[in-house]
Structure 1
């Protein structure tokens, strides 16, 4: 049973219908309210001009309003923007906008990161004028409990879960901050926190963001990344029929190495994780994204690439190699370019679609693994011993 009332921004249309019907409002009013919030991005009841004054007063009394405030925008030389957001309780999170101009090859990496296997849109766009497509990377927790050795988000541990309104609110805000000629194309749950550790809020935010009466994001353009919470992977597949793109932070092909890099592997080792991936109900022509952070001296040997190729055999996957982005709280770092290329070559020769993720926004600490809790101090030692 829910212990606290559902925030207005987190309500689905059917919940608005129930809530407003009890106040004697007409049936279509529920859709109007949801449109204002999730299609138009308006959270101030006073600005909802086609609603009765009494209803606007009621919405304000219920707490409808901004759930997060942009405090700082860090702009990278490559166009990436990292937004520092302040929540109502004073906590901070970060979200990242990653723009890329469409055209042959230019969008391929962002689409690969976002689980986009559909070719129809690219074919349809072939004769259109170039446009700037934006992928937004969003957070699901203040901090993180997973403690991965190559990631800054868990430096101070988990402070709290985000509500669905705070997760979806990042996209509402990010969409409002798009620049001329930009469009929001993909949303990736790859920011601060482990999305499946905060399952209920993550699932509700997915329903909000993909609802046809709201932003109406295609499910193939929304990717949830997880460090490998096996029961919740099964739950996500069942709840959404496999329509939500899945990305797995794998980072090693044997349990010993993976447990050293990712403590969650001690609870859900590779054989259990791989079984969950085989059971995930993928639609036709869709693949699971395997994220593999290359850490110098830990998991970057060509022999490890051969083990990875064997481990993933038979699974519909594509592989994103991510040379580790340096973080202040760890002495670990990326391998050299030749080492990365050799690792990729092994996987390509084994028949896998394998990309090396281009570093984006690292000059403003917006790259993969660099989002951090403002003012955080290390809770655990980050280097491997």
Structure 2
């Protein structure tokens, strides 16, 4: 039983129908309210001009309003924008807007399936004579801080402060869409910001339903990727609840339990055998693949022998592999290997038959790159080399 009422921004249309019907409102009012919030991005009841005054007053009394306040925009030289957002209780989170860039290998390798969908749209636009638009991927957060404690990630430096509500997760996308620049379209959303999405399962699942609802933003499930450090029961739950339609990314980062446990404490609870079994059981649609994220940490997991172990470990799974040279963080003395080491690791996997990409570094000059989102004011505890 829910102990607190749902925030208005977190309600689905059927929940609006039930609550408004109890007040004697007409049935179509529920769709109107949901449209205002999730399709038009309007959270001020006074601006919902086609609603009766009494309903607007009721929505205001229920607390409908902005759930996130943008405090600062950090703009990278490559066009990436990191938004610092203030929550109602004073806590802060970060979300990142990643415009596509031109050039070989330029597509941010966050979700290759979504990228393929973008390519289809581009072809359709070209045939219709439409002006090409800039695709934007938004990386969103699900927690204030993080409990996972991965050795290469800044988000967990101060531990977990609290979960975000579904309204705060979906609200990042509403705000990000409102902050797009001329000629930009929000195409993809990746749950790869601060926090472990599946550790906050209920709010993550509700936000997915909000973002993909046909009466709202109506994101295709092909364009939404949830990344997890490997919470095995919740992987199964995500697959069952969404029929495998939500794209799944796994933060793997090692091919043996000893190395992975040193880098990622969650591996002690859900070791590789259990994780790989969960991936094999995930109800993946035909021609879709799981994304394997592998952060290369110098001297820890970047040896070509480790690449061979990884190739063997993943054999038979429908996967694509994103290699991520570790982005430096203040809380760690760990760092990335050199380019030659990265290329040698990639070559092993490519020769083994895998689609393997090296993720292009985006936004690192404003600490917006993978693993660099941090809780404002967190005091870093420096992590030395592991092992």
Please give the range of the TM-score, normalised by the shorter of the 2 chains: over 0.9
Contact 1:102 1:133 in 2 (8 A): no
Contact 2:330 2:380 in 1 (8 A): no
CA distance in 2, matches of 1:218, 1:118: 14
Q: Using a 3 Å threshold, how does the CA distance of structure 1 residues 59 and 30 change in structure 2: closer, same or farther?
A: same
Contact 1:325 1:369 in 2 (8 A): yes
Q: Using a 3 Å threshold, how does the CA distance of structure 1 residues 122 and 240 change in structure 2: closer, same or farther?
A: farther
Q: For residue 329 of structure 2, give the secondary structure of its aligned residue in structure 1.
A: coil
User: Which residue in the other structure is 2:110 paired with?
Assistant: 110
Q: Which runs of 5+ in 1 are unaligned?
A: none
Q: Which runs of 5+ in 2 are unaligned?
A: none
**1:112 Cα shift?**
2.2
CA distance in 2, matches of 1:312, 1:179: 40
User: Which residue in the other structure is 2:4 paired with?
Assistant: 4
Q: Using a 3 Å threshold, how does the CA distance of structure 1 residues 345 and 128 change in structure 2: closer, same or farther?
A: farther
CA distance in 1, matches of 2:341, 2:95: 31
**1:377 Cα shift?**
1.1
Listed one character per residue, the Cα deviations across residues 302-347 of structure 1 (whole Å, up to 9, x for unaligned) are 0000000000000000000000000000000000000000000000
Q: For residue 96 of structure 1, give the secondary structure of its aligned residue in structure 2.
A: strand
Q: For residue 152 of structure 2, give the secondary structure of its aligned residue in structure 1.
A: coil
CA distance in 2, matches of 1:235, 1:127: 43
Q: Using a 3 Å threshold, how does the CA distance of structure 1 residues 108 and 162 change in structure 2: closer, same or farther?
A: closer
Listed one character per residue, the Cα deviations across residues 220-253 of structure 1 (whole Å, up to 9, x for unaligned) are 0000000000000000000000000000000000
Contact 1:255 1:270 in 2 (8 A): yes
Q: Using a 3 Å threshold, how does the CA distance of structure 1 residues 126 and 6 change in structure 2: closer, same or farther?
A: same
Contact 1:94 1:138 in 2 (8 A): yes
Listed one character per residue, the Cα deviations across residues 96-127 of structure 1 (whole Å, up to 9, x for unaligned) are 00001579864373542879698576567796
Q: Using a 3 Å threshold, how does the CA distance of structure 1 residues 125 and 252 change in structure 2: closer, same or farther?
A: farther
Q: Using a 3 Å threshold, how does the CA distance of structure 1 residues 152 and 126 change in structure 2: closer, same or farther?
A: farther
User: Which residue in the other structure is 2:32 paired with?
Assistant: 32
Q: Using a 3 Å threshold, how does the CA distance of structure 1 residues 122 and 254 change in structure 2: closer, same or farther?
A: farther
Q: For residue 109 of structure 1, give the secondary structure of its aligned residue in structure 2.
A: coil
Q: Using a 3 Å threshold, how does the CA distance of structure 1 residues 377 and 77 change in structure 2: closer, same or farther?
A: same
**1:378 Cα shift?**
3.2
Q: For residue 117 of structure 2, give the secondary structure of its aligned residue in structure 1.
A: coil
Contact 2:108 2:359 in 1 (8 A): no
Listed one character per residue, the Cα deviations across residues 52-97 of structure 1 (whole Å, up to 9, x for unaligned) are 0000000000000000000000000000000000000000000000
Q: Using a 3 Å threshold, how does the CA distance of structure 1 residues 266 and 105 change in structure 2: closer, same or farther?
A: closer
Contact 2:155 2:194 in 1 (8 A): yes
Contact 1:150 1:382 in 2 (8 A): no
- Aligned residues between the structures: 385
Q: For residue 83 of structure 1, give the secondary structure of its aligned residue in structure 2.
A: strand
Contact 1:146 1:264 in 2 (8 A): yes
User: Which residue in the other structure is 1:69 paired with?
Assistant: 69
Q: Using a 3 Å threshold, how does the CA distance of structure 1 residues 116 and 320 change in structure 2: closer, same or farther?
A: farther
